[in-house]
Structure 1
Amino acid sequence: MVSSQADKAASHARIVDKAAARFRRDGVNGVGVAELMKEAGLTHGGFYRHFASRDDLVAEAVEHALEQGNKRFLTAAARGGEQAFTAIVDGYLSTAHRDAPQDGCAVAALPQDVSRADDRTRAAYGRQVESYLNILAGLASGDDPAAERRQACLALSALVGAVAMARAVGDPELSAEILSETAAALKEL
């Protein structure tokens, strides 16, 4: 019985992990349940032993993807001050982040999908955006909380938007320019 519960928990975690990566890469509607279950080494029929609905899987996978991105953001922010801001900008606007959405930030990969999702998923996304804004505002070196919050909103919007556009354009040179010029502009703040 204990082994069975541990196996079920491991299978559940595997499904959520696969879904989090695939949703970031292909979008929430870009992958089906049967395909995810097969990637997790399970049958399609076993899906409902783990989730009440596809929406439950989406919510849990998006929450997981957001947690993964938050860990990377917090690691970069731990440096503190301008050095941390530079590390966040350089990591976020890197070609590695652009080219591997399945491993990247769900805030950049999933805004359109989440805008159409259920309340649980939208709330998780909102909490992550709020967390990023607080981190970025905390890295500012001023004494005006309203100005720091405004700069954090601008910086996060620029980071997310630049990654989204760099992924979407077909011209590699334009893509690289979007990343590098946005990074340069943010560092001038």
Structure 2
Amino acid sequence: MSEASTPKERTRARILDEAAKAMREKGADGIGVAALMKRAGLTHGGFYAHFENRDDLVAHAVDRMFQDSDFVLKRHLAGNEAAKGLSELIDYYLSEETWKHTDRGCPLPSLGGEASRMPTAARQRFSDGIHAFRAALAASLAALELPNPESLAASVLAEMVGAMTLARTLDEDAARLALGASRDQLKRRIGLPIDAG
């Protein structure tokens, strides 16, 4: 949950947390204002004290989701040696735990396919979030002195998102296999150690 200090900020944060969860689960079109406010334990009428309209909510919910992604990136990449951080990030992103919990984490596997149909402000924030994620990967890949780190980062991000998106269409055994294969192949391509077993 995001930090907030005043009661109004805490209420807004609660709405955004619920909107982010709902969007990951049901897509941007799957959140109605009345249902969202009920989910947050608030009345429908209070919505407009926090957001201009539904499009404004969607844009801020996209920001909220990428805050989660930024937290994950910092947890794994900041303060870690580059190889260790990248390995931990790949393991986390392509884990069974992440696969099971569609209501949290990176919005790209859940919403990437519909981002182009989101309101303009939400699309821009989605694009900004992708750029920030790719830049964090590129910085770590550059620290490993790999050639073309920006291009490699774009490819690594696409593979992680694609692998998780695909895994979420599969049954548990097939998903586990796909995620494990993607983790190993990504690490092999980057030159990271592959876990035994």
Fold match (TM-score > 0.5) = yes
Alignment counterpart, residue 145 of structure 2, candidates 142, 145, 148: 142
Q: Distance in 1 between matches of 2:39 and 2:49?
A: 17
Give the C-alpha shift of residue 45 in structure 1. Answer: 2.1
Give the C-alpha shift of residue 92 in structure 1. Answer: 0.1
* CA distances 1:157-187 after superposition (whole Å, capped 9, x unpaired): 0100111111112x22211111000000000
Contact 1:81 1:139 in 2 (8 A): yes
Q: Distance in 1 between matches of 2:39 and 2:106?
A: 21
* CA distances 1:13-34 after superposition (whole Å, capped 9, x unpaired): 2111110111112211223211
* Aligned position for 2:20: 20
* Aligned position for 1:34: 34
In the TM superposition, 1:110-125 aligns within 5 A as: 110-125=111-126
* Aligned position for 1:128: 129
Contact 1:66 1:107 in 2 (8 A): no
Give the C-alpha shift of residue 148 in structure 1. Answer: 1.4
Structure 1: state its 5+ residue gaps.
none
Contact 1:33 1:54 in 2 (8 A): yes
Give the C-alpha shift of residue 67 in structure 1. Answer: 0.8
Contact 2:28 2:118 in 1 (8 A): no
Q: Distance in 2 between matches of 1:143 and 1:45?
A: 54
* Aligned position for 1:185: 185
In the TM superposition, 1:1-189 aligns within 5 A as: 6-78=6-78, 79-140=80-141, 141-142=144-145, 144=147, 147-169=148-170, 171-189=171-189
Structure 2: state its 5+ residue gaps.
190-197
Identity %: 32
Q: Distance in 1 between matches of 2:9 and 2:40?
A: 13
AA aligned opposite 1:56: D
AA aligned opposite 1:24: R
For residues 123 and 8 of structure 1, do their structure 2 counterparts lie closer, same or farther at Cα, with a shift above 3 Å needed? Answer: same
| Count of residues in Structure 1 that have an aligned counterpart in Structure 2 | 182
Q: Distance in 1 between matches of 2:31 and 2:131?
A: 28
Q: Distance in 2 between matches of 1:143 and 1:104?
A: 27
Structure 1 counterpart SS, 2:145:
coil
Q: Distance in 2 between matches of 1:41 and 1:93?
A: 33
AA aligned opposite 2:62: V
Q: Which has the higher helix share?
A: 1
AA aligned opposite 2:47: F
**Which stretch shows the higher mean deviation, 112-121 or 85-94?**
112-121
Contact 2:167 2:178 in 1 (8 A): yes
Q: CA RMSD in A?
A: 1.6
